[in-house]
Amino acid sequence: MKKRILLLLGLFSVVFFLAGCTEINKPIDAESTGFWNEYIVYPLSWLIVKGAEILGGSFGLSIILVTILIRLAILPLMIKQTKSSKAMQALQPEMKALREKYSSKDQKTQQKLQQETMALFQKHGVNPMAGCFPLIVQMPILIGFYHAISRTREIAEHSFLWFDLGDKDPFYLLPIIAGITTFIQQKMMMAGQEHNPQMAMMLWMMPIMIVVFAFNFPAALSLYWVVGNIFMIVQTYFIKGPELKTAAAGKAGGAKK
């Protein structure tokens, strides 16, 4: 879990670094060269511009449409992440037993604990890092969105609802909504694992990180986050519906007692 937290911090640091340092002032078009420009930034820019043409010139609606298309494209990965999360949850009793068996903090005992834990994962075919794969896939898309918005004049100069797509949300509503929807989505994904202190830390850390970055990025990127989170909330509800109802019933029963 600590490795996952460090990975998340590292990925967001990479986003912040690349977003600020990679050709951000250079316009993107069909003549732009380089793998990053040709296969990530320009295709996203083209999709958003074409989507706006179809949707009556609304770049905000186009970003919503492109976000949904991207989420549908990576849906198999997200389903795999959900299955991995459920498998990890099922192994919690056995992992707890191993931690109690090897409770000593000396190096030899901790190495034995790691070996036994990895053997447990292999026995049940569980990859503890599988939950990070969708995030790793989304990082280039996230950075690409930032560049597409900032480097495409048509996008950056348009507004949607109360905000300009190329500037920060003047009322900071989108960053806050992005944080709230991230929290809800994380809460649903972690249903039944709230007792784990490391999972509880993840529950709060991700929304806070999203809000901090959203405060400093164009509102269009916050829009991408919000729409993506809502998509994930709906998706998680349909995939983990029975499990969520069981967890809610358990909490209600505990409250009555």
pLDDT in tens, 95-116: 788 888 877 777 778 788 888 8
Instruction: Parse the chain into domains and list their residue ranges.
Output: 2-88+131-251
φ/ψ (deg, to 5) at 87: -65, -40
Give the C-alpha separation, 197 to 256, whole Å: 24
Q: Which residues of 129-155 are buried (b: 16+ CB within 10 A; e: fewer)?
A: ebbbbbbeebebbbbbbbbbbbbbeeb
Structure tokens at 233: 């909330």
Give the C-alpha separation, 122 to 101, whole Å: 19
User: What residue has token string 């920060």?
Assistant: 168
Radius of gyration of the chain (CA): 21
Ordered per-residue pLDDT tens for the chain, 257 residues: 455 555 555 555 555 555 444 556 688 888 888 888 888 889 999 999 999 999 998 999 999 999 999 888 888 877 777 777 777 777 778 878 888 887 777 777 878 888 888 888 888 777 666 656 666 667 777 788 878 887 888 887 888 888 888 888 888 899 999 999 988 887 777 665 555 555 666 677 778 888 888 888 888 888 988 998 899 888 888 776 656 556 555 555 555 55
- CA dihedral of 53, 43, 23, 226, whole degrees rounded to 10: 70
3-state secondary structure of 64: helix
Structure tokens at 121: 């994962």
Give one DSSP letter per residue of 139-176, joined into a string: HHHHHHHHHHHHH-HHHHT-EETTEETTS--TT-HHHH
End-to-end C-alpha distance for the chain, whole angstroms: 32
pLDDT in tens, 81-93: 777 777 777 777 8
